[in-house]
Chains A and B, each alone.
Chain A
Amino acid sequence: MVKFEQRLLGEMIAVEPEVAPRGKILLPDWQRNLRGQVIAVGPDATECKIGDTIVFGAATGMESVYKGVPIRLMKDSDADAVIE
């Protein structure tokens, strides 16, 4: 898990997406779900905490690269579920 040293605002969270196994049929982004590990949360984020593995839609949030690792910045409310 990459160490995220920037300060997130509001209910933003930073997620490091996992490389999902590719299925037989490729789905479009607006139907596809990804999962990833939360690496940083803003002060108002209530749904998940650092280290949680969450499920989110592939089209949500903003893709970015931090220290060479692809990450995704999204709002706390964009997460669909937490895997326990």
Chain B
Amino acid sequence: MILSPELDEVRSRLRVLRDRVLVKPLSYVHPTLITPGIEVQKGVVVAIGYGRRQRRKVRFDQMEGHFGSSLYFEDGEETGRILPMKVAVGDVVEFSPRNVFIIREEDLVSLGLPDVGDLLMVWQQGIYSIDPTESQSDAFMWQQPAGYDRHGNFMSGAESWARA
């Protein structure tokens, strides 16, 4: 998906670090996975970091002396290897509602950035899937409530709809 000029400006001003992904949420209801309180979210990737810095795995014994019940956590020192990102700018992704940090639109506006609504900071591990067909389509980006143009201005009907 080609980003709108406003989102492109946000992308150029924000340097996202490591494996974080900056996402513009889209209004979306999953057709089958509907659970009260838990909803799969969908969004367009606005900016991505350079990749995940790999760490050495550390063994954790759940029971002393029982090697069968060991877990390995990637919690050691950094190996120096950077694992590349699996998502790209413009992808439409589904992600978990957990571990999501919200950048409010008031914060963006106070920085002099365009008003693009709330943005979400997601880790790459929290992204479930990439939708390849919607990533090729621009239809989601230009969704707007009837009667308003894409900047949120009310259109009474006397204006030219070519502006919307």
Contact = CB atoms under 8 A, between A and B. Distances in A.
B17 A23 contact: no
Interface in A62-84: 77, 79-84
B123 to A, nearest CB: 9
Nearest to A53: B111
B110 A80 contact: no
Contacts of A22: 106
A33 B121 contact: yes
Contact of B107 (A20, A57, A79): A20
Contacts of B12: 84
Given A21-B107, A55-B121, A81-B22, A27 B102 contact: yes
9 contacts: A22-B106, A23-B106, A27-B102, A27-B104, A33-B101, A33-B102, A80-B16, A81-B15, A83-B15
How big is the B interface, by class? Answer: 20 to 34
A79 to B, nearest CB: 6
A81 B17 contact: yes
Interface string B12-27: 1111111010100000
B103 interface: yes
Contacts of A80: 16-17, 20, 101, 121
Interface of B: 12-18, 20, 22, 47, 53, 100-104, 106-107, 110-111, 121
Given A31-B101, A32-B101, A82 B110 contact: no
Given A32-B101, A32-B102, A33-B121, A84 B15 contact: yes
Contacts of B101: 31-33, 57-58, 80
Interface in A13-62: 20-23, 27, 31-33, 35, 47-48, 55, 57-58
A84 B13 contact: yes
Central interface residue in A21, A57, A58, A83, by most chain B CB within 10 Å = A83
A44 to B, nearest CB: 9
A32 B103 CA distance: 7
A24 to B, nearest CB: 9
A62 to B, nearest CB: 18
